Amino acid sequence: MEGKAQAAVTAAAGVIEVAWPAVAQGRKATEAPSSCKVRLPVRELDAKGRSAILKRLERDPLELGAMLSGKVPASLAKLLPEAPPWAEAADGQPQGSCACGKPDCPRIPAAAGVAAERWQSELLLRLQALGAAPETLGAAVFAAWAQDVTTASRSFEQWAKGREGVSAEATPQEGPSLGEWLAEAAVQGRLHEPGPQLHDVRVQLSPDPGAEPPEVNAAALAALLPAVRGAAGGLAAVAAKAMERAAALAQDLKPE
């Protein structure tokens, strides 16, 4: 029987193929060497199994990236069958076909044994045989992400349209919009400067012409501070000095 180490095992959706190199096997030199390729049908993942894999990959981009680079994460193996889900024949043995054409070819069970060993060690083989090749899963995940982004974008657009009416009624816009101002400021290299509204602020730093210190209610102070003589005069003097000091400070702050 052909050695397991020499067997080449490949997989596609729903099938595993095991092939051995063609050998003479005692035939005469004039006879063609015998070919040996066995096809073993496999049941593909159902909708539930495929959905579980897709949900995991959608939540973990790192696992998706590893799978697409040919390194199937071991955590993904927990979602895959531990043994090949053979399409069973009537006798319970894997149903397969050999290139020799004999339905009872002894190479079929031998090929099933080789494929079962590779199934345990090669997660990529499992995915391909189960109809969940990395490129197929990747396309499905990217499509799901795109749909999520589109849905979120539409929801935001609907929310924004609803807010436009409220904002327009509450605060009518005057002058350039924020976006226009930012674009213009970026071109002119003045993004570090304050917005235009700041230049519209005017502060009156000097007292009104003819302003006098407020009158002191001497009777109220005398009732509040009966033991303090001259409280009203002292308070008036403090107020006058405070006004003088404020006027001097305001003079220094006036624009030239």
Quick one: pLDDT band at residue 48, thresholds 50, 70, 90?
very high
Examine the fold and report which residue of 106, 141, 176 is the final residue of a domain before the chain moves on.
141
Contact between residue 127 and residue 133 where contact means Cβ atoms under 8 Å apart: yes
pLDDT for 1 equals 47
In a domain, 43, yes or no: yes
Total tally of structural domains belonging to the chain: 2
Same domain, 135 and 222: no
- Residue with structure tokens 């997660």? 123
* SS3 of residue 164 by DSSP: helix
Instruction: Please name every residue paired with 23 in a beta bridge, in sequence order, or none if there are none.
Output: 34
* pLDDT band, very low/low/confident/very high, at 33 (cuts 50, 70, 90): very low
Assess if residue 196 is contained within a domain.
no
- Residue 243: the pLDDT is 81
Tell me, yes or no, whether 171 lies in a domain. no
Residue 86, domain extent: 4-141
- Is the pLDDT score of 89 beyond 80? no
Last residue of a domain, one of 126, 141, 156: 141
Residues 104 and 226 in one domain: no
Which range is least confidently modeled, 18-32, 67-81, 223-237? 18-32
Q: Are 10 and 17 in contact (CB under 8 A)?
A: yes
Q: Are residues 236 and 111 in the same domain?
A: no
Q: What is the mean pLDDT of residues 192-210?
A: 62
Q: Please tell me the predicted confidence (pLDDT) of residue 172.
A: 54
Q: What pLDDT was estimated at residue 104?
A: 82
Q: Write down which residue in 141, 165, 191 finishes a domain.
A: 141
Whether 18 and 106 share a structural domain: yes
What confidence score (pLDDT) does residue 15 get?
94
CB 125 within 8 A of CB 11: yes
Residue 254 within any structural domain of the chain: yes
Average the pLDDT over 12-25 and give the result. Answer: 80
Q: Are 29 and 51 in contact (CB under 8 A)?
A: no
Give the residue with greater pLDDT, 236 vs 137.
Answer: 137
Judgement on whether residues 137 and 223 belong to the same structural domain of the protein: no
Position 19 in a domain? yes
User: What secondary structure letter does DSSP report for 131?
Assistant: T
Question: Residue 194 is encoded by which pair of tokens?
Answer: 């304050």
Q: Residue range 27-41: average pLDDT?
A: 64
Structural domain includes residue 250: yes
Q: Which is more confidently placed, 25 or 221?
A: 221
Residue 224 and residue 137 in one domain:
no
* Tokens matching residue 238: 């403090």
Phi then psi dihedrals of residue 119, to 5 deg? -60, -40
Residues 222 and 137 in one domain: no
Averaged over 47-60, what is the pLDDT? 91
75: in domain: yes
Residue 32 binned pLDDT confidence (cut-offs 50, 70, 90): very low
| Residue 7 pLDDT greater than 70, yes or no | yes
Which helix or strand (DSSP H or E) is residue 236 part of? helix 231-253
Instruction: Answer yes or no: is pLDDT of 26 > 60.
Output: no
Q: Are residues 9 and 122 in the same domain?
A: yes
Mean pLDDT over residues 194-216, rounded? Answer: 63
Domain-embedded: residue 183:
no
Q: For 130-188, how does the pLDDT look when each residue is reduced to its tens digit (9 = 90+)?
A: 999 998 998 888 888 887 766 666 665 666 666 555 544 555 555 666 556 666 666 67
My answer on whether 135 and 229 are in the same domain is no
pTM, whole model, 2 decimals? 0.52
Mean pLDDT of the chain: 76
21 and 124 both lie in a single domain:
yes
Could you give the CA distance from residue 5 to residue 57 in angstroms, rounded to a whole number?
A: 34
228 and 130 in a common domain: no
For residues 88 and 94, is the Cβ–Cβ distance under 8 A? yes
Q: Are residues 11 and 136 in the same domain?
A: yes
